[in-house]
A and B are shown apart, each in its own frame.
Chain A
């Protein structure tokens, strides 16, 4: 990846070098990078991580600029504008999923780098300035990611922002005023959203600047093969599991009157969140959370042991892997409810986090116990394996809740798509039953073409419903038959009317219901077929029904689906379970209409990447064959 001489890239490199010479940091960096190079293999690793970070930064800025062209930072329009990107903007879902998952990958790369530096103790002189610059990068990334997560304006966005900004109210005396200043009001609102949007746009340029200083004159990796493996993994994430790392609640529009029962941040903030919750005092909780990050600045002072000249330090390895395990544990606890055994675990894990930095590291500094025995080596290996296992389990774990029966959906599996006949049956059930109370304001009649309906059929479906339009020339609102460009209307003029007609419980809009529920379509089936008699000693409030799947078990919706309640033209089975599956499939399609296009594009991208990967592997083997004899001469 080196540029030919006198190309623009080299000129840019010269410029950067010139700028670096004028920065007071430059000597430190040069001493760190050039005069004290790392061993060859580690240097290659460092280049790879740096290249990945640089690549992701470019992807994030490119996709972010495009998203900003379509996004509206206003509490009434933010969620809708993001959904418009997902559904109506050409390839908008791809850009948004790249940006959303790119943040996760960025943090994954950064965390791997941080742990690698901690393991190699890359923070020792003369590299301590580099290390501190890296911590500043991490802090900038944290601020940027936090503000970016607020922008989609889902429930998790609003309440995550509320919790973190409210943390400043822990500051004595002026805390409340700081919070009002951050919000620009008495609560998080449009002024907050707008300034977060601007800062989320601005900070990446600061990150870019610090990254240039941080990477300095290090060249990009030549290990295209490793880069290719990363791209394949990213492709699988974006095209097949784009929402796996986010909580479904963020597809529920923000509601300032209701906090989601299981509030949690994105995975990369879960350890910090666990630290915040572990301490039963507000001010100290906030201090601990901030301290957990800031303690990284002090690491070069805490670990002052001299060079060990490559002598193995088995006890240090044991301490390191214990610490890594502790961090993963903290992340796991951060996603659990703040009660009972989890609180105890959170306190222990938090205590160990600080113990590692404040006690273990300085102690190991003074003397590494003489460890010729195999015990620490074995312990380190065991801990390493345990850490890897914990990481895999934590990544694979679902968002909790009761386990639902999993159905054999047509879209299960990497090549699955929707079953158009099933969707048509589901649409029939929705129109004849659900639509009496539930609208779908993000799904337009014209989109039914994806179910195999013709233009005339779609026009007839639309015309069968009435939508409010106007005002007309007299200034009056009027009702007219629907058009294919209209969305599935709600039968109620507004939320208040919907609540009044349903004893206080608003029938939710169904456009995103499947995607916004833990368990997706399985959850929809479980609710529709989950009615029954409440178990003894369970009190159900008047006007509600007992339902095994609904959170809290008291649902305001009466049972709707019975054996034989609908007749399907295609003669498909119409027992209650089959009907529930059909309408759940329809709702799944309504919430993820792009799924088939996404997987089709994913397959093409994966095929391209695998071909590229094969070429990169061939290149790597050739390079190694050439490089091998050379190295033997050198050393």
Chain B
């Protein structure tokens, strides 16, 4: 390249600065536009729900909707609790003790949304497949969960989430 290259002048610098500032302004003005697409205040403030546990017999489970998602409430049998407690943590993909996942051993409350791609796993009703570990089985892509809602097999990367909840008394909980 034998052509003579002009050194940058003050004018070039000003142009550069103006372009940079303009681009920054455009980007900044896009932020509120993007913000409108995020969950709105009323969605964020979605009320908590109360669940009556009294009618759920041992071995049964119910599904309630919280924030538009299915939440599993399962009244576990002693055998199911024992299976969940005795699991070797080293075998788990997402290691968590059962005690960390429940407030009271006989009640398991978990978001019924497969951590793979968001399907609702089967196993709530008797007669549905519960997977290899007696918990839930997701029919979409074949994830297996145990009686503590922990992933044991399949493509899911994490355990079923435990929503925030408290016991109001012995037979009522509030989720959220």
Contacts and interface: CB of A to CB of B under 8 A. Distances in A.
The answer to whether A binds B is yes
Contact of A187 (B37, B68, B157): B68
Given A181-B37, A184-B38, A191-B40, A256 B117 contact: no
Interface residues of A, number: 45
A541 interface: yes
A159 B141 CA distance: 13
Interface string B111-130: 01001111111100111100
B65 A195 contact: no
A262 B139 CA distance: 7
Contacts of B140: 159, 163, 259, 263, 338
Interface string B35-58: 001111001001000000000000
Contacts of B63: 257
A184 B120 contact: no
Interface in B48-78: 63, 65, 67-70
B119 A280 contact: no
B43 A191 contact: yes
Contacts of B46: 186
A281 B155 contact: yes
B69 A186 contact: yes
A181 B157 contact: no
B141 A338 contact: yes
A490 to B, nearest CB: 21
B127 A282 contact: no
A186 B37 CA distance: 13
A259 B154 contact: no
Contact of B155 (A183, A191, A285): A285
Contacts of B122: 259, 261
A524 interface: no
A577 interface: no
A257 B63 CA distance: 7
A124 B33 CA distance: 41
B142 interface: yes
A158 to B, nearest CB: 10
Contacts of B39: 180-181, 183-186, 191
B161 to A, nearest CB: 10
B139 A185 contact: no
Interface in A549-563: 552, 554
Given A195-B37, A263-B139, A166 B118 contact: yes
B110 interface: no
A12 B63 CA distance: 59
Nearest to A166: B118
A283 to B, nearest CB: 7
A167 interface: yes
A166 to B, nearest CB: 4
Interface in A132-150: none
A261 to B, nearest CB: 5
A343 interface: yes
B109 interface: no
Interface in A170-191: 170, 180-181, 183-189, 191
A539 B155 CA distance: 30
A160 to B, nearest CB: 10
Interface string A532-551: 00000001110010000000
30 contacts: A162-B118, A165-B118, A166-B116, A166-B118, A167-B117, A170-B157, A185-B39, A186-B39, A186-B43, A186-B46, A186-B68, A187-B68, A257-B63, A257-B70, A259-B119, A261-B122, A261-B139, A263-B140, A276-B141, A280-B155, A281-B155, A282-B115, A282-B117, A282-B155, A285-B155, A338-B139, A338-B140, A338-B142, A540-B127, A552-B127
Given A281-B157, A338-B139, 15 more contacts: A162-B117, A165-B118, A167-B117, A180-B38, A185-B40, A185-B68, A187-B69, A256-B68, A256-B120, A259-B119, A277-B142, A280-B154, A282-B116, A552-B127, A554-B127
Interface of B: 34, 37-40, 43, 46, 63, 65, 67-70, 112, 115-122, 125-128, 138-142, 154-157
Interface of A: 159, 162-167, 169-170, 180-181, 183-189, 191, 195, 256-259, 261-263, 276-277, 279-283, 285, 337-339, 343, 539-541, 544, 552, 554
- Counting from the closest, the 4 A-B pairs by CB-CB distance are A187-B68, A166-B118, A186-B67, A259-B119
